[in-house]
């Protein structure tokens, strides 16, 4: 079965998966409680919101829409806009869908429709004075932060592949992770791209963008096999690239079998490389089959590298190679720690579970990215349920955890940290939640150190925010 066909016929008609069709600006939003006076900035969230929903559009393939919630002086405002990618513009001009997720253009697409299927729907980050909408198959799309106007693919100076035009410019439009890592001390942004030599290839590119927007390093290497690599890990000295057995296969695709599927018989392979080295010398560590969509943090302790990640025994949303569905009992993620011994001769990694509550979308106080840390948060599921109906705060140094749970049926998005003071974890957790009974959305503001106490403020949003993926808080003004 093709992954496109896995999406239910009514995926875009199911509850909060349904897209919204209005782009609006609204100020003076109703607030229950009191917004902290020092909380000033914008929460940018992004997710799939197809301009023309169709059964051929997998959830991962919906056009990106940005939802911006601005907080200042105790007041809240909202704005949303589609990311106007080349695909969005072509389909908007045609008045109908022209692309099938994972499968190219429809057979009767107009001659003038391009081949760029980028949707910029997965993550949104601020770096080097730019707001960037990301998805892992295409180069970052620049966004005007105040208006959410689409500026086109980002351009970077430097070497290599950084010219403003010609072949080098085209090279910049290759794959780029939706989860770049920004070192809070150096300001560098590290990125990678899989399928770097084209669809279903094992080639990986890795690069560095300086805080002034120059590409200072970019190189490629071959992974052990073609894998969907959604996230990776950064420490002060290393990058860790997880090659996990959610594999891509041209042969399967040509045989009308799943292009991407979970091969449980393959080992997981984690590549460790020097993040500042001049070339890609990769050391591979082997472990049991599993999958990780999202990582929490990683750091070095002596001769060990430690990485805290949300591990699935078997990934959801994708089938097995013969098209059969996976086992739902194995398709929930748990926070676990991977340990890598840098001693010569070591070639395996170990895994230890850190929390017995299932969840996804882990976040930290980003001022501790790549360093030893203590506090993490993730969207959580009650035992026996799959909906993300709560937020868990875990102290990874002690294993202690606390939780805030929504009423039954309500669902939370990724919890995003906003700093208040200088100490790690001193700040606020921001989360957009969907209220099932009223089919509406709200922004919750919780004290990051006492989430069990519930929100200190709740902002009623002027329209529903469909289920999406990621977001970031940008403090102050970034217009």
Q: What is the pLDDT of residues 167-193, one digit of tens each?
A: 344 344 679 999 999 999 999 999 999
Nearest to 338 by CA among 360, 307, 369: 307
Contact criterion met (CB below 8 Å) for 226 and 249: yes
Determine the Cα angle at 358 with ends 10 and 419, to 5°: 100
Give 237's DSSP letter. Answer: S
| Backbone phi and psi for residue 93, each to the nearest 5 degrees, phi listed first | -65, -40
pLDDT bracket for residue 165 (50, 70, 90): very low
Closest to 178 measured CA to CA, from 333, 82, 358, 48: 48
Which pLDDT score, from 0 to 100, does residue 3 have? Answer: 35
Q: Looking at the chain, how many residues does it have? A: 479
**pLDDT tens by residue, 259-290:** 999 999 999 999 999 998 877 789 999 999 99
Token couple for 32: 């229950």
Q: From its phi and psi, is residue 93 left (phi > 0), alpha (psi between -120 and 50) or beta?
A: alpha
The residue among 64, 39, 215, 75 whose CA lies nearest residue 143 is 64
Rg (CA), the chain: 21
Determine the distance from the C-alpha atom of residue 257 to the mean position of all C-alpha atoms in its chain, rounded to a whole number: 26
What are 372-401's pLDDT values in tens digits? 999 999 999 999 899 999 999 999 999 999
* Residue 87: its H or E element: helix 86-94
What is the torsional sign of CA 173, 470, 2, 318? positive
Q: Which residues contact 6 (CB under 8 A, 6 or more apart)?
A: 58, 317, 318, 319
Q: Which residue, among 68, 73, 27, 50, has the nearest Cα to 472 in the 3D structure? A: 68
Preceding omega of 160 cis (within 30 degrees of 0) = yes
């Amino acid at each position: 079965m093709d992954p496109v066909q896995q999406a239910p016929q009514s995926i875009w008609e199911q509850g909060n998966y349904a897209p919204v069709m209005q782009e609006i600006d609204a100020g003076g939003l109703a607030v229950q409680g009191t917004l902290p006076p020092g909380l000033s900035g914008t929460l940018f969230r992004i997710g799939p919101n197809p301009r023309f929903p169709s059964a051929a559009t997998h959830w991962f393939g919906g056009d990106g829409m940005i939802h911006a919630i601005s907080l200042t002086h105790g007041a809240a405002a909202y704005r949303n806009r589609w990311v106007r990618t080349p695909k969005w513009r072509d389909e908007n001009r045609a008045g109908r869908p022209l692309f099938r997720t994972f499968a190219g253009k429809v057979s009767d697409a107009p001659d003038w429709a391009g081949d760029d299927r980028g949707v910029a729907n997965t993550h949104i980050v601020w770096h080097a004075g730019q707001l960037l909408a990301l998805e892992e198959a295409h180069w970052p799309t620049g966004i005007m932060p105040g208006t959410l106007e689409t500026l086109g693919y980002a351009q970077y100076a430097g070497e290599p592949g950084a010219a403003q035009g010609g072949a080098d410019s085209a090279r910049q439009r290759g794959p780029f992770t939706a989860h770049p890592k920004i070192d809070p001390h150096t300001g560098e942004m590290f990125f990678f791209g899989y399928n770097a030599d084209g669809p279903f290839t094992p080639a990986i590119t890795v690069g560095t963008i300086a805080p002034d927007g120059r590409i200072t390093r970019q190189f490629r290497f071959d992974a052990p096999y073609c894998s969907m690599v959604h996230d990776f890990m950064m420490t002060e000295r290393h990058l860790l690239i997880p090659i996990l057995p959610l594999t891509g296969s041209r042969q399967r695709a040509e045989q009308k079998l799943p292009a991407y599927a979970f091969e449980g018989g393959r080992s997981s392979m984690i590549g460790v490389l020097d993040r500042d080295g001049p070339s890609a010398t990769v050391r591979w560590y082997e472990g049991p089959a599993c999958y990780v969509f999202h990582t929490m943090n990683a750091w070095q302790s002596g001769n060990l590298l430690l990485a805290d990640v949300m591990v699935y025994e078997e990934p959801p949303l994708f089938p097995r190679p013969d098209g059969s569905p996976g086992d739902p009992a194995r398709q929930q993620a748990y926070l676990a720690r991977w340990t890598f011994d840098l001693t010569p001769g070591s070639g395996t990694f170990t895994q230890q579970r850190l929390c017995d509550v299932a969840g996804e979308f882990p976040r930290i106080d980003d001022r501790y990215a790549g360093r030893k840390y203590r506090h993490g948060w993730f969207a959580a599921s009650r035992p026996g349920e799959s909906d993300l109906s709560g937020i868990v705060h875990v102290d990874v140094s002690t294993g202690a955890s606390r939780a805030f749970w929504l009423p039954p049926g309500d669902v939370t998005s990724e919890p995003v940290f906003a700093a208040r003071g200088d100490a790690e974890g001193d700040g606020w957790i921001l989360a957009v939640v969907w209220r099932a009974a009223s089919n509406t959305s709200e922004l919750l503001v919780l004290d990051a150190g006492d989430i069990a106490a519930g929100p200190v403020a709740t902002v009623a949003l002027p329209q529903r925010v469909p289920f999406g993926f990621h977001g970031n808080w940008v403090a102050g003004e970034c217009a």
